[in-house]
Amino acid sequence: MAYWQHHHLLLSALLILCLAIGVSSRNKRYTTPSVTPLTNSFPRVTFDRGFSKAFGASNIRILNNGSMATLALDKTSGSGLVSQGRYYYGFFSAAIKLPAGLSSGVVVAFYLSNADKFPHNHDEIDIELLGHDKRNDWVIQTNVYANGSVSTGREEKFYLWFDPTQQHHYYSILWNNYHTVFLVDNIPVREFMHSNAYGSIYPSKPMSVYATIWDGSEWATHGGKYGVNYKYAPFTVSFTEMELSGCMVDTSLSSNSCSKTIPSSLDPVNGPQFTKLSQQQMAAMDWARRKLMFYSYCNDKPRFKVMPTECH
């Protein structure tokens, strides 16, 4: 073998090795901040008692005495669960293990919505985990809006600091009358404040909790550049350690019983410790936003001729 051929092959091998190391270690280069885990503060619920099958029933499995659920996406259907109760505020969390392998176009969502009750002016608080065009590369998109539709959304996107396909990680939403906080492994990545200056955009109507997997080929990966490749189906996501702690709507009452007539002490996330982030949580959120956020609607000048009020 000629020297230049040997040298070229050696350089190619080193380049491939470096790329492989870069990909495999991409999620290991961060030392995460220490935070008090909110997920330790609330009880867990089983899927057979807390949820009903929303769609794709044949792709849903309830396992381990109801403590775990797997949802699958294949050529025939995605699948989803919906909470049996509706909530005025609360803490909602799940430990999720995402599908391994090529995942472009796949969307795993853990979110709150009342679109079934208010189809033209619904509220929504979203955690959407979006598949990518590279192996084991997922991103998290958060969104929040009220009295509107997807077009009024306020999206922010983050890289994850771990491989979400290897084990379960916590994805959580804290929602009360003061703020909405999105957390990953108990680290706040985003806080959306409730302000009288823009009160109409803050979710306030009771919502159900959803856990779903579905085909987002039209938009999820690079704006729809990469769709779902069903050669790799089924795509299976695992949910466990589910927490639904909120003021549940009493369907026997027509009024907003939780926020008006029930004492706030009975609302699990309305106490003083949930009105604002601690210094520790603020520092952790600053770390996440500096290191991992790669899109915020507040920086999207082509989208907004006039920036939303809260961006100022």
Q: What is the pLDDT of residues 224-240, one digit of tens each?
A: 888 999 999 999 999 99
Q: Which residues contact 4 (CB under 8 A, 6 or more apart)?
A: none
Residue 11 in any domain: the answer is no
- Tell me the percentage of the chain whose pLDDT exceeds 90: 69
Return the pLDDT at 11: 45
Return the pLDDT at 116: 94
- Active-site residue among 124, 156, 191, 243? 124
Whether 271 shows a pLDDT value over 70: the answer reads yes
Q: For 301-312, write each residue's pLDDT tens digit.
A: 999 889 998 998
Under the banding of pLDDT at 50, 70 and 90, the label for residue 178 is very high
Burial class (CB in 10 A: 0-12, 13-18, 19+), 214: buried
Under the banding of pLDDT at 50, 70 and 90, the label for residue 267 is confident
Spatial distance between the Cα atoms of 262 and 31, rounded to a whole number of angstroms: 43
Residue 156 in any domain: the answer is yes
Whether 267 and 247 have beta carbons less than 8 Å apart is answered as yes
Q: For 48-94, write each residue's pLDDT tens digit.
A: 999 999 999 999 999 999 999 999 999 999 999 999 999 989 999 99
* 124-138, 179-193, 286-300, range with the lowest pLDDT: 124-138
Residue 200 in any domain: the answer is yes
Return the pLDDT at 251: 64
Query: Is the model more confident about 211 or about 8?
Result: 211
Annotated catalytic residue 124? yes
Whether 256 shows a pLDDT value over 90: the answer reads no
Residue 3 in any domain: the answer is no
Return the pLDDT at 291: 96
Under the banding of pLDDT at 50, 70 and 90, the label for residue 164 is very high
- Active-site residue among 128, 156, 191, 243? 128
What is the number of alpha carbons within 13 Å of residue 276 lying toward its C-beta? Answer: 3
Whether 298 shows a pLDDT value over 70: the answer reads yes
Query: Is the model more confident about 278 or about 271?
Result: 278
Whether 248 shows a pLDDT value over 90: the answer reads no
Whether 154 and 297 have beta carbons less than 8 Å apart is answered as yes
Averaged pLDDT score across all residues of the chain: 87
Residue 268 in any domain: the answer is yes
Residue 244 in any domain: the answer is yes
- pTM for the whole structure: 0.88
Spatial distance between the Cα atoms of 54 and 52, rounded to a whole number of angstroms: 6
> How many other C-beta atoms are found inside a 10 Å radius of the C-beta of residue 111?
20
Return the pLDDT at 9: 47
Whether 163 shows a pLDDT value over 50: the answer reads yes
Structure tokens given for 282: 């603020």
Mean pLDDT value of segment 179-202? 94
Nearest to 33 by CA among 290, 293, 294: 290
Give bridge partners of residue 246 from the DSSP assignment. Answer: 90
CATH code of the domain containing 235: 2.60.120.200
Mean pLDDT value of segment 144-158? 84
Whether 4 shows a pLDDT value over 70: the answer reads no
Mean pLDDT value of segment 258-267? 50
Return the pLDDT at 222: 84
Which residues span the domain enclosing 142?
Answer: 41-311
3-state class (DSSP) for residue 95: strand
Q: For 13-33, write each residue's pLDDT tens digit.
A: 444 444 444 444 344 578 999
Return the pLDDT at 179: 96
Annotated catalytic residue 191? no
Whether 172 and 183 have beta carbons less than 8 Å apart is answered as yes
Q: For 194-232, write each residue's pLDDT tens digit.
A: 998 888 899 999 999 999 999 999 988 888 888 999 999
Overall domain count for the chain: 1
Residue 21 in any domain: the answer is no
